[in-house]
């Protein structure tokens, strides 16, 4: 029943009762009855109000006071309003939690600053990038807690596109890039990116271009010098001309080899999988490689080949020939005359195909071994060039092996020799394992 109607009805009831008492017992009795009725009504309402007030201090549905008359509607209305309010609050805090989780999941750092550059919130990545303590540092001026040179000036005049790049004091090996994005009433969003890898890739690219240019420049300078000399000379003995031309051919061969290796590398780096998968007859391949090595050695080394007859592998024959060939030619080039070289293809006890090239050459000091497969990394630049090296052989080997999921193991001792061992995964399909056969040159 509506509250106004219920109250009017009760007042009318009291008035009617009082008039009846007045008519029956006299006017005074009627007034007394009216006052008593109003007083009772008042006490009951005050009582209900007190219960409502007590319940509102911690409103719970199951403790809702048993209301009387029109108070039932009031209690239920208040309870409904409170429940709606709390549902809205739950929804807002759920959304907020979701946004916080999303901001935490970002790979970049996010820090929110107020108009006075005081920290309002930051995700864990920003905390790690900028050396902040979430919670503890909230409310502090970010320029007082983040040790980044030029940060104050950067925040004062936030340019739309520019970033502030810096190495954080607590992790000097890392390179971070900071971007400040203004939003709503002078607040700012500080976004930090880890650009260490991008910078490293940039440096590698720059070094690579510098190395290639340098490698090409040397033979080009020689050829250019000879050509200039020949064009200036009015008369030149035929023998000298032949010598010049022979040297120019040598230098152009060097350039050709370098360009071939570069093309091979760029092809290998272009995709993860071997050019094609085929059954590679390692037996035949190794004997052909040994013949090439003997030609390069010109009889100055003993070259042995040991092959597990039926052990074949699946992969790209061209790529594997190139990788194995690079190792074999390195063995010849870095082994002084009179030394021994052994090419072996076998199946190990775990049924994996293993190719190895062992030499009794100059060997490699331990500190160089981890870097040998880097492009243009050479232990002895002079010897590499003298023997026609491009500095790319082992980088090619590395990429071919990556594409064949194979591992390269290098063991070496300066002055004693080296062993380069390639281990293929079992699933590359090694067939049978009959007795090994040895061929000697």
The residues that touch ligand ADP, with contacts defined as CB under 6 A, are 326, 330-331, 334, 359, 361-362, 364, 372, 377-380, 384, 389-395, 418
Closest by CA to 355, choosing from 289, 399, 299, 296, is 289
Report the nearest approach of ligand ADP to the CB of residue 436 (Å).
23
Instruction: Return the closest-CA partner of residue 328 out of 343, 308, 347, 316.
Output: 343
What three-state secondary structure class fits 86?
helix
DSSP 3-state of 344: strand
Shortest distance, position 418 Cβ to ligand ADP, whole Å: 4
Query: Which residue number, 30 or 393, has a Cβ lying nearer to ligand ADP?
Result: 393
CB of 383 vs ligand ADP, minimal distance in Å: 7
Nearer to ligand ADP, 103 or 327 (CB): 327
User: Shortest approach of ligand ADP to residue 395 CB, angstroms?
Assistant: 6
Other Cβ atoms within 10 Å of 61 Cβ, number: 8
123 versus 390: smaller Cβ distance to ligand ADP: 390
The nearer residue to ligand ADP, 109 or 393, going by C-beta atoms, is 393
What does DSSP say about strands 119-122 and 164-166: parallel, antiparallel, or unpaired? unpaired
Minimum Å distance from CB 401 to ligand ADP?
Answer: 13
**C-beta separation of 412 from 418 below 8 A:** yes
Asked if 417 contacts 292 with a C-beta cutoff of 8 angstroms, the reply is: no
Strands 407-413 and 164-166 come out as unpaired
Burial class (CB in 10 A: 0-12, 13-18, 19+), 396: buried
State the DSSP string of 390-432: -S-HHHHHHHHHHHTT-EEEEEEETTTEEEEEEE--GGGT---
CA distance 183 to 436: 74
How far is the C-alpha of 82 from the C-alpha of 19, rounded, in Å?
Answer: 43
Q: How far is the CB of 414 from ligand ADP (least distance, A)?
A: 9
Give the whole-angstrom CA distance, residue 164 versus residue 187: 18
C-beta closer to ligand ADP: residue 314 or 387: 387
**Cβ 213 to ligand ADP, closest distance in Å?**
17
Minimum CB separation from ligand ADP for residue 198, in Å?
A: 26
| Integer Cα distance of 126 and 148 in angstroms | 13
Closest to ligand ADP by CB, 292 vs 380, is 380
Query: Please, which residue, 266 or 351, has the CB nearer to ligand ADP?
Result: 266
- Measured from the CB atom, the residue of 364 and 400 that comes closer to ligand ADP is 364
Please, what is the minimum distance in Å from the beta carbon of residue 298 to ligand ADP?
Answer: 18
Nearer to ligand ADP, 219 or 393 (CB): 393
Tokens coding 1: 């029943």
- Side by side, the strands of the sheet bearing 417-423 are 407-413, 417-423, 353-359, 340-347, 302-308, 436-440
Residue 193: closest CA among 179, 183, 173: 179
Q: How far is the CB of 307 from ligand ADP (least distance, A)?
A: 20
Nearest to 422 by CA among 392, 393, 438, 402: 402
Q: How is residue 13 written in tokens?
A: 């009831």
**Dihedral pair phi/psi, residue 280, rounded to 5°:** -100, 120
Smaller CB separation from ligand ADP, 137 or 359: 359
């Amino acid at each position: 029943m509506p509250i106004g109607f219920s109250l009017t009805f009760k007042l009318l009831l009291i008035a009617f009762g009082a008039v009846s008492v007045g008519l029956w017992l006299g006017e005074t009795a009627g007034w007394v009855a009216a006052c008593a009725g109003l007083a009772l009504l008042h006490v009951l309402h005050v009582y209900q109000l007190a219960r409502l007030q007590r319940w509102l201090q911690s409103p719970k549905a199951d403790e809702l006071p048993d209301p009387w008359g029109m108070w039932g509607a009031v209690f239920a209305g208040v309870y409904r309003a409170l429940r709606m309010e709390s549902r809205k609050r739950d929804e807002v805090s759920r959304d907020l939690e979701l946004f916080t989780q999303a901001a935490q999941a970002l790979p970049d750092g996010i820090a929110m600053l107020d108009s006075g550059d005081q920290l309002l919130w930051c995700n864990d990545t920003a905390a790690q990038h900028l050396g902040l303590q979430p919670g503890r540092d909230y409310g502090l001026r970010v320029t007082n807690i983040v040790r980044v040179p030029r940060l104050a000036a950067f925040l004062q005049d936030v340019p739309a596109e520019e970033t502030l790049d810096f190495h954080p004091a607590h992790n000097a090996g890392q390179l971070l890039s900071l971007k400040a994005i203004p939003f709503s009433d002078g607040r700012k969003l500080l976004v930090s990116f880890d650009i260490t890898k991008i910078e490293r890739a940039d440096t590698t690219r720059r070094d690579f271009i510098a190395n290639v240019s340098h490698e090409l420049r040397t033979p080009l300078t020689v050829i250019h010098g000879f050509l200039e000399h020949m064009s200036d000379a009015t008369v030149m003995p035929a023998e000298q001309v032949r010598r010049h031309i022979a040297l120019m051919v040598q230098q152009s061969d060097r350039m050709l080899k370098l360009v071939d290796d570069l093309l091979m590398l760029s092809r290998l780096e272009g995709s993860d999988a071997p050019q094609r998968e085929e059954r590679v007859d390692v037996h035949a391949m190794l004997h052909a490689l040994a013949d090439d090595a003997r030609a390069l050695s010109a009889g100055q080394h003993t070259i042995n080949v040991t092959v597990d007859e039926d052990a074949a592998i699946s992969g790209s024959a061209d790529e594997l020939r190139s990788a194995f060939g690079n190792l074999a030619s390195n063995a010849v080039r870095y082994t002084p005359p009179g030394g021994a070289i052994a090419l072996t293809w076998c199946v190990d006890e775990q049924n994996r195909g293993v190719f190895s090239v062992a030499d009794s050459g100059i060997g490699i000091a331990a500190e160089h071994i981890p870097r040998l497969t880097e492009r243009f990394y050479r232990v002895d630049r002079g010897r590499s060039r003298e023997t026609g090296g491009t500095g790319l052989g082992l980088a090619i080997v590395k990429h071919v092996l990556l594409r064949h999921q194979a591992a390269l193991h290098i063991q070496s001792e300066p002055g004693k020799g080296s062993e380069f061992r390639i281990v293929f995964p079992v699933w590359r399909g090694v067939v049978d394992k009959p007795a090994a056969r040895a061929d000697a040159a």
